[in-house]
Amino acid sequence: MRKKDLCFFITVLLLLINVTSLSAEEHAIELGGEDGWDNFSTEKNIQKCLGRYGYESICIASASLTPSKTTDMFLSFENGTISDITDNYNVVFSSLTVNKSSIMGGYSALSRGTQKGLKLKGNENSIFGKKGVVGSFSIAFWLNPSLAENGETVLSWQSSRNINYEPLYQMIAGAFYNNKFEWTFTNVFSSPEGCESDITLTSSNMVVPSSWSYHVLNFDEETGLLEYYINGRLENLTYVTSSGTQEGVVYQAVLGVPATIEICPQFTGYIDDFSIQKTLIEPKVHQPMYYPDGGSFETNILGPFTTNSEITNVQSISTIPEQTDIQLFVRGAENCFGWTDETPEWIPVNDGVLSKSVVGTYFQLGARFYTDGQSKKTPLLTSVTILYNEKDPPLPPFSVFGESGNGSAKISWLSSVDESTDGYLLYYGTSPGEYLGRSAIEGNSPVDVEDAIEYVLTGLTNGKIYYFAISSYTITDSNSRIEGVLSKEIWVRPQRNKP
């Protein structure tokens, strides 16, 4: 065997050995993690929070109050701000500090003892911004006291109203006494005849320091029933009526001169989701901390990748408390147009393994979050890594040959050593490297010759040089074509057989 032929044989053999490893290369897309999460195409009941390694993670959104037309005040402390979401109250003074030690959402407010807390002034649309009959109302908040000592005050409102041209002192207060929480209403409730009633409503159980509890106070203008709940359990009630029972004449809440309302004027601890409603709140024994229906998201469409790329595995870093879960889904297609909720089909991922093959040029990730039975816990998703194979395009023919004819050129080549090759494209043109030919009877450049290894182009001009190159292609499962690079260029000059 000649030395030149031996070298050629060895080269072809090495290509054959490596063709399998070259046919597909694994890549990875990481979502979340150190770089955080981008915006989603759709999302429902989710929020960003701190997760594993201190990275930004996704969890179920807290079941915070959603303000409505009956919401008089709502302090959520989200986004690191202290303001009334309803815009019914303006902050006059605040010594509260926004803190991430929250129970609902990402933030709560920290009060440090005798620093006067938060003062708000209501407008004419608010309960405490005008005088007159209040109607039904509720006051609700989450509380985490550092202390539960006498005088620790969470709410205070002081004003006066004129009765027969005489000023009458009024007060509403919510404070701790003997480790219990006590509501006081002084000259607030009035009978139709103008008789005033002082009300004190004390919790039956002690409030435990350094733990969160949910407090709800309801007054029903129809029945006169004043109820106090902690964590959905009734602590105390009274009928604000002429007889002190449900049979008496109802005393209505009547406020005098508008005055500021103070939140945590003398309180040490955390407060979250403070609200006042112009209606009653339904207390729940198992007050949900997260949306009971869970949450979900879909990422923006990812890509483009090489045609016919295939997802091989989906890995995630997450925190899954007991009874909670996260279900991941992926889907893919060769184009990114016309995607709906149903198509392309969402494929579940279980322990990183896809239940069905996902192939395409574009991918999308979806996730469904499930809370526990009492909606007290949420799973956290820190990052997702999608592993996928990009199929390398097939190798071109190693050698190409040309033979001139009368108005024609016969081009032949050695088959590609790449086993994934399904066919060939024959490029031609009249300038080197520019294969823009249009004169051949067989068609414009490139001509699909399918799996042939020689082909004759006719209708060419005798005496004119034409340049040729061959590429290999693979047909994918979706009937699209992956084309490889061009072979080495050759030239042929068609000519007559006789002068």
Report pLDDT digits (tens) over 451-498: 999 999 999 999 999 999 999 998 876 677 888 899 999 999 999 875
136 and 262 belong to one structural domain: yes
388-389-390 Cα angle (round to 5) = 120
315 and 415 belong to one structural domain: no
Of the residues 389, 424, 445, the one at which a domain ends: 389
- In this prediction, residue 498 carries a pLDDT of 57
- In this prediction, residue 191 carries a pLDDT of 86
333 and 404 belong to one structural domain: no
- For 428, the domain range is 394-492
Cα dist from 32 to 100, 343, 377, 469, whole Å: 21, 25, 21, 45
- In this prediction, residue 21 carries a pLDDT of 36
79 and 54 belong to one structural domain: no
Of the residues 337, 369, 389, the one at which a domain ends: 389
Q: Report the distance separating Cα 33 and Cα 35, nearest Å.
A: 6
185 and 56 belong to one structural domain: no
The pLDDT tens digits of the residues spanning 83-101 come to 999 999 999 999 999 988 8
150 and 202 belong to one structural domain: yes
88 and 140 belong to one structural domain: yes
372 and 405 belong to one structural domain: no
- In this prediction, residue 103 carries a pLDDT of 87
The pLDDT tens digits of the residues spanning 141-198 come to 999 999 888 999 999 999 999 888 888 999 999 999 999 999 999 999 998 877 777 9
- The separation between CA 288 and the C-alpha centre of its own chain, rounded to angstroms, equals 20
- In this prediction, residue 316 carries a pLDDT of 96
Mean pLDDT computed over 22-33: 79
Other C-beta atoms closer than 10 Å to the C-beta of 231 total 16
Mean pLDDT computed over 311-335: 95
The helix or strand, by DSSP H or E, that contains position 251, with its residue range, turns out to be: none
In-domain check, residue 86: yes
| pTM metric for this prediction | 0.65
254 and 314 belong to one structural domain: no
pLDDT above 70: residue 43 = yes
Cβ atoms of 25 and 376 closer than 8 Å = no
Mean pLDDT value across the chain:
90
pLDDT bin (cut points 50, 70, 90) of residue 306 is confident
pLDDT above 80: residue 303 = yes
For the chain, the domain total comes to 3
256 and 405 belong to one structural domain: no
Positions of E strands within 258-324: 261-277, 295-299, 309-319
Contacts of 2 (CB under 8 A, 6+ apart): none
Of the residues 231, 247, 277, the one at which a domain ends: 277
pLDDT bin (cut points 50, 70, 90) of residue 24 is low
CATH code of residue 451: 2.60.40.10
Decide: helix, strand or coil at residue 54. Answer: helix
The helix or strand, by DSSP H or E, that contains position 21, with its residue range, turns out to be: helix 3-22
305 and 369 belong to one structural domain: yes
346 and 423 belong to one structural domain: no
